[in-house]
Structure 1
Amino acid sequence: MLIAERRRLLLEQVHDRGYVSFRELADALDISESTVRRDLRSLVEEGLLTATRGGVGPVRRGQDAAGVAAPGPGDATGAPRPAADRHGAARPTPAERPADPVPHHREAIAAHAASLIVPGTAVLLGPGRTTTALARRLAGIEQLTVVTNSVAVTQALIDLPQIDVVLVGGALRRSIGAVVGPITEQALQGLRGAQVFLSGEGVTAERGLTTPNVFAAATDQALMAAGRQVVVLADHTKIGHDTMCQTVPSDRIDVLVTDDAADPDTLRRLRAEGVDVRIA
């Protein structure tokens, strides 16, 4: 069982039952108690669960499992409070987030990725700055169907009448601007596309594409399964970097599009794994 799937099941168990001991979770998932403790420690650190004596419970502070603040007794209007991190500090809004550190490399990667798309086909685009940059470059394609769970990708395509957009449903994860979760994964099971374009926070020869977000990882795996060809878009800051959750193993990456500043040793090892590495 992949780590992202295991942690998703752990979250479901806790939210279904309200409080669960380590032993109960180990028995329910047929895994060791030490593995449960390790996974739960990470989920608590991410603010997705609350630690209790001898076990865990759902998150407090009026938040749901996705980290989105729910209306509390003091919310007369019922409007949601700003989402907070695990220390209680408000998360930055999109306007407050850091500027793109590699805009030129990202645009070059997006341009190369756009050249791989065949008009008249169906493709899947995951969330991320680079996939959004790719979406903005699809205006020149006469006919295309795009399946996505990304709000930003949808916004980039909304004024392009020649592009049919299939926006899958699910729980909105504001931190990544995308819908994720079991509803999203189930919707993707019935879809197929010629290509799927994914980005993440790290790419290595040992683990392939990875992300620190357990919810995004499970949904990215569903996107991967729906595409006949898997194309990973990653600038040089992601190459050689590894994060918590594996989304696409290196043997499932057909094409990696990166830039000329990427670590050459990592690219060499990826090529040895059979990945078609393209330098934008």
Structure 2
Amino acid sequence: MSNTAHTFAEERRAAILAMLERSASVQVAELAQAFGVSAVTARADLDALEAAGKLRRTHGGAVSLQKALTVSIQDKRINVNVAAKQAIAQAAIGLVDDGDSIIVDSGTTALEFVRALAARRDITVITADVTIANYVDDSLPQTDVVLLGGTLRKGHRYLYGPLALRTLEVLHADKAFLCPTSFVPNRGLMTNFEQMAQVKSAFIEAASTSIALIDATKVDAGGLMLFAPLEKIDTLVMDRDPEGIVARQIESCAKKGGHAPQLMLASNQISTL
């Protein structure tokens, strides 16, 4: 690299860090447009800054280490199972069409999914999650956001209660993307907070299609409150199905004559049982 090119690269990278101080996250497409460089160059800048310990790379961009996005207390795992969550997000984005209105649940998998929405246009996101609403406002200029009313759960950055439920009664979305705390065989999709279980159930009722995003660690894990049996979901998007547990549950639904959801693994291979 020539001295001039090196100087330009250093200036761009300093500017990227300044952008992260303001918005906590950046996208490759955003950087390429801002600096008039190729996406390859923008990715190289982000890779160099990550190697220097200045930021954390995400699919399609990066987040600040100093001003990290805040996520719900019950899921303080923004750096846990990142590859699985990103794979789920990339598979799920194939279910979103330009122009869709979508309900997006709270949590780190939901945040990875919303980051992937940069590949879509004219989307309206409906959410009770303040972090997700902030991200859309900061980083997705072509995406509209509807933030539900309600009571803010202290420290968790999402809204719940009668106002949130009432808002959902007058809304209708094309698709709802749900992020359960766990999937419990012979029960269904679970969460740990009773009032949020009510909101998640209302998400399903407010959408034409319901999609659950579940990483493999949540299968047969702990969960206190049931918010949806498997039959209420149209598609489950997972990184993998440990020991085929979910596939067997779907097969059981089909044998009983109930609604059997599709299972979409991150390989983008869909099986309908």
Shift of 1:242: 4.7
| Counterpart residue number, 2:261 | 275
Structure 1, unpaired ranges of 5+: 1-91
C-alpha contact 1:121 1:144 (8 A) present in aligned 2: yes
Residues 1:216 and 2:196 aligned together: yes
Return the match for 1:183 from 163, 175, 180. 163
Name 2:220's counterpart in structure 1. Answer: 240
Superposed displacement of residue 155, structure 1 = 1.9
Verify: 1:228 aligned to 2:208, yes or no.
yes
State the SS of the aligned residue for 1:119: coil
Relative to its length, the structure with more helix (as a share) is 2
Is the alpha carbon distance of 1:241 and 1:191 closer, same or farther for their aligned partners in structure 2, counting shifts above 3 Å? Answer: same
Verify the 8 A CA contact 1:180 1:215 in the aligned structure 2.
yes
User: How many pairs were matched up?
Assistant: 188
Q: Is 1:114 paired with 2:93?
A: yes
- How far, CA to CA, are the matches of 2:166 and 2:72 in structure 1? 29
- The answer to whether the 8 A contact 2:184-2:223 is kept is no
Partner of 1:100: 79
- The amino acid of 2:263's aligned partner reads V
Equivalent runs, 1:43-192 vs 2, <5 Å: 97=76, 100-159=79-138, 160-192=140-172
> 2:186 is aligned with what amino acid?
E
CA distance in 1, matches of 2:77, 2:179: 18
Judging changes above 3 Å, is the alpha-carbon distance between structure 1 residues 241 and 267 closer, same or farther for their aligned structure 2 residues? Answer: farther
For the Cα contact (< 8 Å) 1:149–1:167, is it kept in 2?
yes
Which deviates more from structure 2 when the two are superposed, residues 220-229 or residues 264-273? 264-273
Shift of 1:240: 2.1
Match of 2:179 among 191, 194, 199: 199
State the alpha-carbon separation in 2 of the partners of residues 135 and 242 from structure 1.
Answer: 25
> Does structure 1 retain, via aligned residues, the 8 Å contact 2:72–2:107?
no
How far apart are residue 267 of structure 1 and its match?
2.6
TM-score of the pair, normalised by structure 1 = 0.63
Distance of 1:167 and 1:263 partners within structure 2: 38
Q: Residue by residue, what CA displacement relative to the aligned partner does 1:64-85 show, whole Å, maximum 9, x if unpaired? A: xxxxxxxxxxxxxxxxxxxxxx
Can you list the C-alpha shifts for 1:110-149, whole angstroms capped at 9, x where unaligned? 1111111011121100111111111111112121111111
| Counterpart position of 1:254 | 234
Separation in structure 2 between the aligned mates of residue 107 and residue 98 of structure 1, nearest angstrom: 13
Amino acid at match of 1:165: V
- CA displacement 1:144-193 (0-9 Å, x = unmatched): 11111111211221132211111111101134321001110011110011
Q: Is the 8 A contact 1:125 1:197 kept in 2?
A: yes
TM-score w.r.t. the length of structure 2 is 0.64
Q: Which amino acid aligns with 1:116?
A: L
- Supply the distance in 2 between the matched residues of 1:263 and 1:219 (Cα, whole angstroms): 31
